[in-house]
Amino acid sequence: MDAVTMRQLAAGLAIGLGTLGPGLGIGLLVNGAMQAIGRNPEAAGQIQVNMILGIAFAEAIAIYALVVALLLKFVA
Amino acid sequence: MSGKGCLIPLVILLVVTGLCAISSGFLGAMGGNSGLLHGIGLDPILPSIKLPAEMVVPMGQVGPFKVGLTNTLIATFLADIVLVVLAAAATARIRAGSPDAWVPRGVQNLVEWIVEVLHGLAESVLGKTRARQVFWLGATIFLFVLVANWMELLPGVDSIGILEHPHEPGIAYSRRGALLSLPEIKNEAPKTEVKPTGGEHPEDAQHPEGEEHAYEGWELVPFVRAAATDLNVPLALALISVVMTQVYGFRALGAQYLGRFVATKRLGDGNPMGLIDLAVGALEAISEFAKIISFTFRLFGNIFAGQVLLFVMAAFLIPFLVFGTLVFYGLEVFVGLIQAVVFMMLTFVFIAMATAGHGEEHAEHAEAH
Protein backbone atom coordinates (compact mmCIF):
# COMPACT_ATOMS: atom_id res chain seq x y z
CA MET A 1 0.00 0.00 0.00
CA ASP A 2 1.35 3.41 -0.87
CA ALA A 3 1.34 6.34 1.55
CA VAL A 4 -1.76 8.04 0.13
CA THR A 5 -3.90 4.93 0.38
CA MET A 6 -2.55 4.27 3.83
CA ARG A 7 -3.52 7.76 4.94
CA GLN A 8 -7.07 7.42 3.63
CA LEU A 9 -7.40 4.11 5.43
CA ALA A 10 -5.93 5.56 8.62
CA ALA A 11 -8.37 8.48 8.55
CA GLY A 12 -11.31 6.13 8.14
CA LEU A 13 -10.10 3.82 10.89
CA ALA A 14 -9.36 6.72 13.25
CA ILE A 15 -12.86 8.09 13.17
CA GLY A 16 -14.52 4.67 12.90
CA LEU A 17 -12.77 3.13 15.89
CA GLY A 18 -12.60 6.41 17.75
CA THR A 19 -16.36 6.79 17.84
CA LEU A 20 -16.98 3.27 19.21
CA GLY A 21 -16.22 4.23 22.79
CA PRO A 22 -18.07 7.55 22.89
CA GLY A 23 -21.00 5.86 21.16
CA LEU A 24 -21.20 3.28 23.93
CA GLY A 25 -20.72 5.99 26.53
CA ILE A 26 -23.51 8.16 25.17
CA GLY A 27 -25.75 5.12 24.96
CA LEU A 28 -25.12 4.31 28.63
CA LEU A 29 -25.66 7.94 29.61
CA VAL A 30 -28.98 8.22 27.83
CA ASN A 31 -30.00 4.81 29.19
CA GLY A 32 -29.42 6.05 32.71
CA ALA A 33 -31.13 9.37 32.07
CA MET A 34 -34.21 7.73 30.52
CA GLN A 35 -34.55 5.33 33.44
CA ALA A 36 -34.22 8.22 35.85
CA ILE A 37 -36.89 10.20 34.00
CA GLY A 38 -39.12 7.12 34.00
CA ARG A 39 -38.83 6.82 37.76
CA ASN A 40 -39.10 10.51 38.49
CA PRO A 41 -40.78 12.37 35.63
CA GLU A 42 -40.89 15.62 37.65
CA ALA A 43 -37.10 15.86 37.54
CA ALA A 44 -37.04 15.48 33.74
CA GLY A 45 -35.79 19.02 33.10
CA GLN A 46 -32.86 18.79 35.48
CA ILE A 47 -31.93 15.31 34.24
CA GLN A 48 -32.05 16.39 30.61
CA VAL A 49 -29.68 19.30 31.20
CA ASN A 50 -27.20 17.10 33.02
CA MET A 51 -27.58 14.38 30.38
CA ILE A 52 -26.76 16.83 27.61
CA LEU A 53 -23.71 18.04 29.53
CA GLY A 54 -22.55 14.46 30.06
CA ILE A 55 -23.07 13.69 26.41
CA ALA A 56 -21.01 16.75 25.51
CA PHE A 57 -18.12 15.40 27.59
CA ALA A 58 -18.37 11.90 26.10
CA GLU A 59 -18.65 13.40 22.67
CA ALA A 60 -15.46 15.38 23.19
CA ILE A 61 -13.57 12.06 22.95
CA ALA A 62 -15.14 11.40 19.57
CA ILE A 63 -14.16 14.91 18.56
CA TYR A 64 -10.51 14.09 19.32
CA ALA A 65 -10.79 11.14 16.96
CA LEU A 66 -12.38 13.43 14.39
CA VAL A 67 -9.51 15.87 14.74
CA VAL A 68 -7.01 13.07 14.13
CA ALA A 69 -8.98 11.95 11.10
CA LEU A 70 -9.14 15.48 9.72
CA LEU A 71 -5.42 15.96 10.31
CA LEU A 72 -4.69 12.73 8.45
CA LYS A 73 -6.99 13.66 5.60
CA PHE A 74 -6.18 17.31 5.08
CA VAL A 75 -2.92 18.24 6.78
CA ALA A 76 -0.48 15.36 7.20
CA MET B 1 -54.76 33.52 17.37
CA SER B 2 -56.45 34.71 14.21
CA GLY B 3 -56.39 32.67 11.03
CA LYS B 4 -54.14 35.18 9.31
CA GLY B 5 -51.53 34.96 12.04
CA CYS B 6 -51.25 31.22 11.57
CA LEU B 7 -51.23 31.45 7.81
CA ILE B 8 -48.08 33.55 7.47
CA PRO B 9 -45.72 31.13 9.29
CA LEU B 10 -47.32 28.28 7.37
CA VAL B 11 -46.62 29.94 4.02
CA ILE B 12 -43.05 30.71 5.10
CA LEU B 13 -42.58 27.09 6.15
CA LEU B 14 -43.91 25.85 2.79
CA VAL B 15 -41.66 28.23 0.84
CA VAL B 16 -38.59 27.21 2.86
CA THR B 17 -39.40 23.53 2.45
CA GLY B 18 -39.87 24.07 -1.26
CA LEU B 19 -36.57 25.93 -1.58
CA CYS B 20 -34.71 23.21 0.31
CA ALA B 21 -36.30 20.55 -1.84
CA ILE B 22 -35.49 22.40 -5.05
CA SER B 23 -31.95 23.31 -4.06
CA SER B 24 -30.96 19.83 -3.00
CA GLY B 25 -33.43 17.04 -3.30
CA PHE B 26 -35.83 17.34 -6.16
CA LEU B 27 -33.48 18.49 -8.86
CA GLY B 28 -30.80 16.14 -7.64
CA ALA B 29 -33.12 13.20 -8.03
CA MET B 30 -33.57 14.04 -11.66
CA GLY B 31 -29.91 14.78 -12.15
CA GLY B 32 -27.06 12.35 -12.33
CA ASN B 33 -24.83 11.83 -15.29
CA SER B 34 -27.69 10.69 -17.49
CA GLY B 35 -30.52 12.35 -15.59
CA LEU B 36 -33.30 14.50 -16.85
CA LEU B 37 -31.86 17.79 -15.64
CA HIS B 38 -28.31 17.11 -16.76
CA GLY B 39 -29.54 18.52 -20.05
CA ILE B 40 -29.93 21.97 -18.53
CA GLY B 41 -26.81 21.75 -16.42
CA LEU B 42 -28.25 21.06 -12.99
CA ASP B 43 -26.18 18.25 -11.56
CA PRO B 44 -25.86 17.00 -7.99
CA ILE B 45 -22.15 17.67 -7.58
CA LEU B 46 -20.06 17.38 -4.45
CA PRO B 47 -18.75 20.79 -3.39
CA SER B 48 -15.03 20.90 -2.64
CA ILE B 49 -14.46 20.15 1.05
CA LYS B 50 -11.75 22.42 2.42
CA LEU B 51 -10.48 22.77 5.95
CA PRO B 52 -9.25 26.40 5.89
CA ALA B 53 -11.72 29.11 4.95
CA GLU B 54 -11.54 30.23 1.36
CA MET B 55 -10.63 33.77 0.41
CA VAL B 56 -13.44 35.62 -1.31
CA VAL B 57 -11.47 38.85 -1.56
CA PRO B 58 -7.83 37.76 -1.88
CA MET B 59 -5.03 39.06 0.28
CA GLY B 60 -4.09 42.61 -0.57
CA GLN B 61 -1.83 45.19 0.98
CA VAL B 62 -3.69 47.73 3.11
CA GLY B 63 -1.11 49.98 4.70
CA PRO B 64 1.35 47.79 6.60
CA PHE B 65 -1.06 44.84 6.81
CA LYS B 66 -1.99 42.03 4.48
CA VAL B 67 -5.76 41.93 4.54
CA GLY B 68 -8.15 39.51 2.92
CA LEU B 69 -11.77 38.57 3.37
CA THR B 70 -12.70 34.95 3.98
CA ASN B 71 -16.17 33.57 3.46
CA THR B 72 -16.45 32.54 7.12
CA LEU B 73 -15.68 36.13 8.14
CA ILE B 74 -18.57 37.27 5.95
CA ALA B 75 -20.77 34.71 7.71
CA THR B 76 -19.63 36.06 11.08
CA PHE B 77 -20.55 39.61 10.05
CA LEU B 78 -23.92 38.41 8.77
CA ALA B 79 -24.63 36.66 12.07
CA ASP B 80 -23.69 39.86 13.91
CA ILE B 81 -26.00 41.91 11.71
CA VAL B 82 -28.88 39.48 12.30
CA LEU B 83 -28.38 39.71 16.05
CA VAL B 84 -28.08 43.50 16.10
CA VAL B 85 -31.20 43.92 13.98
CA LEU B 86 -33.06 41.43 16.16
CA ALA B 87 -32.03 43.26 19.32
CA ALA B 88 -32.97 46.63 17.82
CA ALA B 89 -36.36 45.32 16.71
CA ALA B 90 -37.01 43.69 20.08
CA THR B 91 -36.25 46.82 22.09
CA ALA B 92 -37.69 49.40 19.68
CA ARG B 93 -40.86 49.98 21.71
CA ILE B 94 -38.96 50.16 25.00
CA ARG B 95 -36.49 52.69 23.65
CA ALA B 96 -39.33 54.73 22.15
CA GLY B 97 -40.74 54.99 25.65
CA SER B 98 -44.06 53.43 24.70
CA PRO B 99 -46.23 53.21 27.85
CA ASP B 100 -47.43 49.67 27.03
CA ALA B 101 -43.93 48.33 26.25
CA TRP B 102 -44.12 46.16 29.37
CA VAL B 103 -46.69 43.99 27.56
CA PRO B 104 -44.39 42.23 25.09
CA ARG B 105 -45.66 41.59 21.59
CA GLY B 106 -44.20 40.04 18.45
CA VAL B 107 -40.41 40.08 18.21
CA GLN B 108 -40.08 41.55 21.68
CA ASN B 109 -42.09 38.66 23.07
CA LEU B 110 -39.92 36.09 21.28
CA VAL B 111 -36.67 37.63 22.45
CA GLU B 112 -37.94 38.02 26.00
CA TRP B 113 -38.92 34.36 26.00
CA ILE B 114 -35.46 33.30 24.76
CA VAL B 115 -33.73 35.46 27.36
CA GLU B 116 -35.96 34.14 30.14
CA VAL B 117 -35.25 30.52 29.22
CA LEU B 118 -31.50 31.20 29.06
CA HIS B 119 -31.57 33.05 32.35
CA GLY B 120 -33.43 30.17 33.96
CA LEU B 121 -30.71 27.78 32.77
CA ALA B 122 -28.01 30.12 34.08
CA GLU B 123 -29.71 30.36 37.47
CA SER B 124 -30.07 26.58 37.74
CA VAL B 125 -26.28 26.23 37.37
CA LEU B 126 -24.89 29.36 38.99
CA GLY B 127 -27.44 30.51 41.53
CA LYS B 128 -29.19 33.88 41.51
CA THR B 129 -26.43 36.40 42.21
CA ARG B 130 -23.70 34.80 40.11
CA ALA B 131 -26.14 34.26 37.22
CA ARG B 132 -26.80 38.02 37.11
CA GLN B 133 -23.04 38.64 36.77
CA VAL B 134 -22.15 36.21 34.00
CA PHE B 135 -25.43 35.81 32.13
CA TRP B 136 -24.37 38.23 29.40
CA LEU B 137 -21.35 36.11 28.49
CA GLY B 138 -23.13 32.77 28.08
CA ALA B 139 -26.18 34.28 26.42
CA THR B 140 -24.07 36.16 23.88
CA ILE B 141 -22.15 33.00 23.04
CA PHE B 142 -25.41 31.07 22.74
CA LEU B 143 -27.11 33.56 20.44
CA PHE B 144 -24.07 34.03 18.24
CA VAL B 145 -23.37 30.30 17.89
CA LEU B 146 -27.04 29.56 17.25
CA VAL B 147 -27.43 32.15 14.50
CA ALA B 148 -24.09 31.25 12.95
CA ASN B 149 -24.95 27.54 12.97
CA TRP B 150 -28.41 27.94 11.54
CA MET B 151 -27.17 30.19 8.78
CA GLU B 152 -25.42 27.13 7.37
CA LEU B 153 -28.82 25.72 6.49
CA LEU B 154 -30.08 28.60 4.38
CA PRO B 155 -30.26 27.80 0.67
CA GLY B 156 -27.50 29.75 -1.06
CA VAL B 157 -24.95 29.39 1.71
CA ASP B 158 -22.13 27.13 0.44
CA SER B 159 -23.71 27.08 -3.01
CA ILE B 160 -23.44 30.62 -4.40
CA GLY B 161 -20.02 32.08 -4.99
CA ILE B 162 -17.14 32.65 -7.37
CA LEU B 163 -16.09 30.01 -9.86
CA GLU B 164 -12.34 29.52 -9.87
CA HIS B 165 -9.77 27.15 -11.21
CA PRO B 166 -8.68 24.93 -8.34
CA HIS B 167 -5.29 25.62 -6.76
CA GLU B 168 -4.73 22.08 -5.50
CA PRO B 169 -4.95 18.67 -7.09
CA GLY B 170 -8.24 16.90 -6.61
CA ILE B 171 -11.63 16.68 -8.19
CA ALA B 172 -12.99 19.66 -10.09
CA TYR B 173 -16.01 20.03 -12.31
CA SER B 174 -16.93 21.33 -15.72
CA ARG B 175 -18.72 24.59 -16.11
CA ARG B 176 -21.99 25.27 -17.86
CA GLY B 177 -22.61 28.99 -17.83
CA ALA B 178 -22.72 30.03 -14.20
CA LEU B 179 -23.27 26.49 -12.93
CA LEU B 180 -20.86 23.71 -12.11
CA SER B 181 -21.82 20.53 -13.85
CA LEU B 182 -20.71 17.01 -14.59
CA PRO B 183 -18.52 15.43 -15.86
CA GLU B 184 -15.97 15.75 -13.12
CA ILE B 185 -12.29 16.31 -13.86
CA LYS B 186 -9.63 14.59 -11.82
CA ASN B 187 -6.47 16.65 -11.42
CA GLU B 188 -3.17 15.10 -10.46
CA ALA B 189 -0.48 17.21 -12.06
CA PRO B 190 -0.78 20.98 -12.49
CA LYS B 191 -1.59 22.33 -15.89
CA THR B 192 1.36 24.28 -17.25
CA GLU B 193 -0.72 26.95 -18.96
CA VAL B 194 -1.79 29.40 -16.24
CA LYS B 195 -3.52 32.29 -18.01
CA PRO B 196 -7.29 31.97 -17.52
CA THR B 197 -9.71 33.02 -20.24
CA GLY B 198 -12.34 35.70 -19.76
CA GLY B 199 -12.34 38.57 -17.30
CA GLU B 200 -14.70 37.28 -14.61
CA HIS B 201 -12.05 36.02 -12.22
CA PRO B 202 -9.34 38.64 -11.85
CA GLU B 203 -8.23 36.92 -8.63
CA ASP B 204 -6.25 34.43 -10.63
CA ALA B 205 -4.13 37.13 -12.19
CA GLN B 206 -3.58 38.86 -8.87
CA HIS B 207 -2.18 35.96 -6.94
CA PRO B 208 0.84 37.58 -5.31
CA GLU B 209 3.63 35.05 -5.73
CA GLY B 210 2.58 33.85 -9.13
CA GLU B 211 3.72 30.34 -8.18
CA GLU B 212 0.09 29.23 -7.84
CA HIS B 213 -0.57 26.61 -10.49
CA ALA B 214 -3.93 26.56 -12.16
CA TYR B 215 -5.52 23.19 -12.50
CA GLU B 216 -8.07 21.94 -14.98
CA GLY B 217 -11.76 22.47 -14.37
CA TRP B 218 -13.66 24.68 -11.99
CA GLU B 219 -14.55 24.77 -8.35
CA LEU B 220 -16.77 26.99 -6.28
CA VAL B 221 -15.58 29.48 -3.67
CA PRO B 222 -18.80 30.26 -1.81
CA PHE B 223 -19.48 33.80 -0.65
CA VAL B 224 -20.78 32.57 2.69
CA ARG B 225 -19.70 29.47 4.58
CA ALA B 226 -20.85 28.54 8.09
CA ALA B 227 -18.73 30.54 10.53
CA ALA B 228 -17.94 27.62 12.83
CA THR B 229 -16.37 25.62 9.97
CA ASP B 230 -13.40 27.97 10.26
CA LEU B 231 -11.28 26.83 13.20
CA ASN B 232 -10.62 30.47 14.15
CA VAL B 233 -14.22 31.18 15.17
CA PRO B 234 -14.64 28.35 17.71
CA LEU B 235 -11.10 29.02 18.95
CA ALA B 236 -11.91 32.68 19.56
CA LEU B 237 -15.11 31.77 21.40
CA ALA B 238 -13.28 29.15 23.46
CA LEU B 239 -10.55 31.61 24.41
CA ILE B 240 -13.13 34.21 25.44
CA SER B 241 -14.99 31.63 27.51
CA VAL B 242 -11.93 30.20 29.27
CA VAL B 243 -10.25 33.57 29.87
CA MET B 244 -13.45 35.00 31.32
CA THR B 245 -13.72 31.93 33.54
CA GLN B 246 -10.30 32.78 34.98
CA VAL B 247 -11.31 36.43 35.41
CA TYR B 248 -14.47 35.53 37.33
CA GLY B 249 -12.65 32.90 39.37
CA PHE B 250 -9.96 35.39 40.35
CA ARG B 251 -12.54 38.06 41.09
CA ALA B 252 -14.53 35.75 43.34
CA LEU B 253 -11.69 34.07 45.23
CA GLY B 254 -8.72 36.42 44.83
CA ALA B 255 -5.32 34.89 45.51
CA GLN B 256 -7.00 31.70 46.68
CA TYR B 257 -7.93 31.07 43.03
CA LEU B 258 -4.28 31.07 41.99
CA GLY B 259 -3.60 28.66 44.84
CA ARG B 260 -5.60 26.13 42.89
CA PHE B 261 -2.91 25.97 40.21
CA VAL B 262 0.16 26.49 42.37
CA ALA B 263 -0.87 24.63 45.51
CA THR B 264 2.00 25.30 47.92
CA LYS B 265 -0.08 25.66 51.08
CA ARG B 266 0.55 22.24 52.60
CA LEU B 267 4.13 22.10 51.31
CA GLY B 268 4.74 25.37 53.14
CA ASP B 269 3.46 23.72 56.33
CA GLY B 270 6.12 21.02 55.96
CA ASN B 271 3.62 18.33 54.99
CA PRO B 272 5.16 15.94 52.39
CA MET B 273 1.68 15.36 50.93
CA GLY B 274 2.05 18.88 49.60
CA LEU B 275 3.97 17.39 46.68
CA ILE B 276 0.78 15.70 45.55
CA ASP B 277 -0.99 19.03 45.83
CA LEU B 278 1.62 20.52 43.52
CA ALA B 279 1.02 17.80 40.93
CA VAL B 280 -2.76 18.20 41.23
CA GLY B 281 -2.37 21.95 40.77
CA ALA B 282 -0.33 21.37 37.61
CA LEU B 283 -3.05 19.03 36.33
CA GLU B 284 -5.65 21.73 37.01
CA ALA B 285 -3.61 24.17 34.96
CA ILE B 286 -3.31 21.68 32.11
CA SER B 287 -7.04 21.00 32.21
CA GLU B 288 -7.69 24.69 31.56
CA PHE B 289 -5.86 24.31 28.24
CA ALA B 290 -7.69 21.05 27.53
CA LYS B 291 -10.91 23.05 27.96
CA ILE B 292 -9.87 25.39 25.17
CA ILE B 293 -9.13 22.46 22.88
CA SER B 294 -12.33 20.58 23.60
CA PHE B 295 -14.48 23.73 23.35
CA THR B 296 -12.90 24.55 20.00
CA PHE B 297 -13.06 21.16 18.42
CA ARG B 298 -16.49 20.26 19.76
CA LEU B 299 -18.09 23.19 17.95
CA PHE B 300 -15.82 23.02 14.92
CA GLY B 301 -16.11 19.24 14.58
CA ASN B 302 -19.86 19.15 14.85
CA ILE B 303 -20.53 21.94 12.40
CA PHE B 304 -17.82 20.93 9.92
CA ALA B 305 -19.01 17.32 10.02
CA GLY B 306 -22.59 18.54 9.57
CA GLN B 307 -21.58 20.56 6.55
CA VAL B 308 -19.77 17.63 4.97
CA LEU B 309 -22.74 15.39 5.79
CA LEU B 310 -25.13 17.71 3.96
CA PHE B 311 -22.72 17.97 0.99
CA VAL B 312 -22.34 14.23 0.72
CA MET B 313 -26.02 13.49 1.19
CA ALA B 314 -27.06 16.07 -1.39
CA ALA B 315 -24.51 14.81 -3.89
CA PHE B 316 -24.73 11.05 -3.51
CA LEU B 317 -27.83 9.92 -1.67
CA ILE B 318 -30.30 12.26 -3.29
CA PRO B 319 -30.43 10.69 -6.72
CA PHE B 320 -32.10 7.77 -4.96
CA LEU B 321 -34.05 9.47 -2.18
CA VAL B 322 -35.88 12.61 -3.17
CA PHE B 323 -36.44 14.26 0.20
CA GLY B 324 -33.53 12.57 1.93
CA THR B 325 -31.58 15.73 2.68
CA LEU B 326 -34.55 17.23 4.45
CA VAL B 327 -34.08 14.62 7.19
CA PHE B 328 -30.46 15.69 7.58
CA TYR B 329 -31.48 19.34 7.51
CA GLY B 330 -33.65 18.54 10.51
CA LEU B 331 -30.71 16.82 12.20
CA GLU B 332 -28.47 19.82 11.55
CA VAL B 333 -31.06 22.22 12.97
CA PHE B 334 -30.96 20.10 16.13
CA VAL B 335 -27.16 19.84 16.20
CA GLY B 336 -26.80 23.60 15.73
CA LEU B 337 -29.09 24.25 18.69
CA ILE B 338 -27.47 21.60 20.90
CA GLN B 339 -23.97 22.90 20.23
CA ALA B 340 -25.06 26.43 21.15
CA VAL B 341 -26.69 25.15 24.36
CA VAL B 342 -23.67 23.02 25.24
CA PHE B 343 -21.21 25.87 24.67
CA MET B 344 -23.25 28.15 26.92
CA MET B 345 -23.91 25.54 29.61
CA LEU B 346 -20.28 24.45 29.80
CA THR B 347 -19.22 28.08 30.13
CA PHE B 348 -21.66 28.46 33.03
CA VAL B 349 -20.57 25.18 34.65
CA PHE B 350 -16.87 26.05 34.40
CA ILE B 351 -17.52 29.49 35.88
CA ALA B 352 -19.54 27.89 38.67
CA MET B 353 -16.64 25.50 39.35
CA ALA B 354 -14.07 28.31 39.24
CA THR B 355 -15.97 30.58 41.60
CA ALA B 356 -16.89 27.92 44.18
CA GLY B 357 -14.38 28.04 47.02
CA HIS B 358 -12.12 25.02 47.54
CA GLY B 359 -11.58 25.98 51.16
CA GLU B 360 -13.99 23.50 52.77
CA GLU B 361 -12.48 20.59 50.87
CA HIS B 362 -8.96 21.42 52.00
CA ALA B 363 -10.05 21.72 55.63
CA GLU B 364 -11.51 18.20 55.45
CA HIS B 365 -8.33 16.79 53.95
CA ALA B 366 -6.21 18.43 56.61
CA GLU B 367 -8.26 16.76 59.33
CA ALA B 368 -7.97 13.34 57.67
CA HIS B 369 -4.18 13.44 57.73
pLDDT in tens, B7-23: 777 788 777 766 655 55
Number of residues that make up chain B? 369
Which residues on chain A are in Cβ contact (under 8 Å) with B345?
A: 49, 52-53, 56
How many interchain CB pairs under 8 A, A with B? 38
User: How confident is the model over B315-335, as a mean pLDDT?
Assistant: 71
Cα of A59 to nearest chain B Cα, Å:
8
A30 touches B at CB < 8 Å: no
Confidence tier at B363 by pLDDT (50, 70, 90):
very low
pTM: 0.76
**Over chain B, what is the mean pLDDT?**
76
CB-based contact B274:B296 (threshold 8 Å): no
What is the Rg, in whole angstroms, of the alpha carbon atoms belonging to chain A? 17
Cα of B342 to nearest chain A Cα, Å:
7
Nearest to B305 among A49, A56, A66 (CB): A66
Same domain, B198 and B272: no
Confidence tier at B324 by pLDDT (50, 70, 90):
low
More confident residue, A32 or B94: A32
Confidence tier at B208 by pLDDT (50, 70, 90):
very low
A66 touches B at CB < 8 Å: yes
Query: DSSP code of A40?
Result: -
Residue B119 has pLDDT above 60, yes or no: yes
Same domain, B209 and B316: no
Given this model, what pLDDT does residue B177 score?
64
Same domain, B257 and B348: yes
- Report residue B79 CA to chain centroid gap: 10
User: How confident is the model over B108-132, as a mean pLDDT?
Assistant: 89
What is the rounded CA–CA span in Å between residue A38 and residue A44? 9
Q: Does a structural domain hold residue B73?
A: no
Q: Residue B262, Cβ neighbours under 10 Å: how many?
A: 13
Q: Does a structural domain hold residue B85?
A: no
More confident residue, B16 or A24: A24
Which residues on chain A are in Cβ contact (under 8 Å) with B304?
A: 70
Query: DSSP code of A1?
Result: -
Q: Does a structural domain hold residue B278?
A: yes
What is the Rg, in whole angstroms, of the alpha carbon atoms belonging to chain B? 26
User: How confident is the model over B128-149, as a mean pLDDT?
Assistant: 91
Same domain, B210 and B325: no
User: How confident is the model over B156-168, as a mean pLDDT?
Assistant: 75
CB contact under 8 A, A49 and B297: no
Given this model, what pLDDT does residue B79 score?
92
**Least reliable range by pLDDT among B61-65, B163-167, B196-200:** B196-200
Same domain, B345 and B282: yes
Same domain, B274 and B342: yes
Q: Does a structural domain hold residue B97?
A: no
Residue B35 has pLDDT above 70, yes or no: no
Same domain, B320 and B358: yes
Given this model, what pLDDT does residue B176 score?
65
What is the residue range of B190's domain? 161-222
CB-based contact B163:B230 (threshold 8 Å): no
Q: Does a structural domain hold residue B318?
A: yes
Confidence tier at B192 by pLDDT (50, 70, 90):
low
CB contact under 8 A, B297 and A60: yes
Which residues on chain A are in Cβ contact (under 8 Å) with B349?
A: 53
Same domain, B300 and B262: yes
The number of domains in chain B is 2
Confidence tier at A61 by pLDDT (50, 70, 90):
confident
Cα of A63 to nearest chain B Cα, Å:
6
CB contact under 8 A, A59 and B298: yes
Same domain, B350 and B289: yes
CB contact under 8 A, A63 and B124: no
Given this model, what pLDDT does residue B173 score?
73
Q: Does a structural domain hold residue B332?
A: yes
Given this model, what pLDDT does residue A76 score?
62
Same domain, B234 and B294: yes
Given this model, what pLDDT does residue B27 score?
46
**Over chain A, what is the mean pLDDT?**
86
Same domain, B280 and B345: yes
Of B204, B222, B240, which residue constitutes the final position of a domain? Answer: B222
Which residues on chain B are in Cβ contact (under 8 Å) with A63?
A: 294, 297-298, 301-302
What is the rounded CA–CA span in Å between residue B66 and residue B60? 6
Same domain, B267 and B363: yes
Cα of A54 to nearest chain B Cα, Å:
10
What is the rounded CA–CA span in Å between residue B243 and residue B288? 9
Q: Does a structural domain hold residue B296?
A: yes
Q: CA nearest B301 in A: which residue?
A: A63
A3-75 in CATH: which number? 1.20.20.10
Of B171, B198, B222, which residue constitutes the final position of a domain? Answer: B222
Of B222, B250, B268, which residue constitutes the final position of a domain? Answer: B222
Nearest to A67 among B50, B301, B345 (CB): B301
Cα of A42 to nearest chain B Cα, Å:
15
Given this model, what pLDDT does residue B28 score?
45
Tens of pLDDT, residue by residue over B245-285, are: 999 998 888 888 888 888 777 777 777 777 888 888 888 88
More confident residue, B332 or A75: B332
CB contact under 8 A, B298 and A53: no
A76 touches B at CB < 8 Å: no
CB contact under 8 A, A53 and B349: yes
More confident residue, B197 or B128: B128
Given this model, what pLDDT does residue A40 score?
92
Given this model, what pLDDT does residue B138 score?
92
